[in-house]
Amino acid sequence: MKIQKLFKSIPNKPENMEPFISWQELTPEFEYKNLGDCYLLVAELKEQDFDKLLSIFRSREEAIGAFLSVAMEHHWEVVPETYCVYHAHEEGGKLIAGILFENTVSIYEQTTVEQMVHLLARVHRIVVYSYDVVTYIKDIYPDVDYKVYSVARELAKRSKRVPELTELAKIYCVPLESLEDKLKLINQLLENPIRTGYEDVELPPFSYPLTDCSY
């Protein structure tokens, strides 16, 4: 299991930071990555180390859950391993939404959107092109913001102009007639670099933290 956090400078002795200082039974191994103005600190933990805490917790899973709750309070997150692509629009005043997960496209209507939210809750990251599609599901999934990786938002941080999805479809020579087409194009944009028609732009992987380095 790996957890991660962004820092403005490399922390001195991260094992003495929370949450690790309070969980001394664990033996984390740390790795740093330079991300321009930030440093990404990744801590890898052995799940069997949590067995040392079975005198306190009823199971390894309960110990891991308690540790992760404390880690999240200190702005750490589990390194994402799974993701899905989400896109949506309205047709005749009704919501039509789609998910691309593990190479399979599923389409949902207004009456089945709660089934989609169950899938969104299972994955670590939700990849969208533009954030505006998130507004369709915020009422029924308020925590969605903590998972959303917006391609357009990441492009805006690194490029003077962010193209529309229709422009990118022409650049990549792919159809954009159906919701499935849009999901597949967004998924393709995760392959660096993105060709915008003006410049090629390298985006961070979806697994990197979504927050700024403010610590």
Which of the 8 DSSP states describes residue 22? Answer: G
Q: Exposure of 102 by Cβ count < 10 A (0-12 exposed, 13-18 middle, 19+ buried)?
A: exposed
pLDDT at 210: 86
SS3 assignment, position 195: strand
Task: Indicate the pTM of the whole model.
Answer: 0.87
pLDDT at 85: 98
Quick one: which of 21, 122, 5 has its CA closest to 75? 5
Which of the 8 DSSP states describes residue 55? Answer: T
**Residue 203: which pLDDT band, with cuts at 50, 70 and 90?**
very high
Quick one: which of 203, 89, 99, 98 has its CA closest to 152? 203
**H-helix or E-strand containing 4?**
strand 2-7
- Please compute the mean of the pLDDT values over residues 153-163 and round it to a whole number: 92
**Residue 214: which pLDDT band, with cuts at 50, 70 and 90?**
low
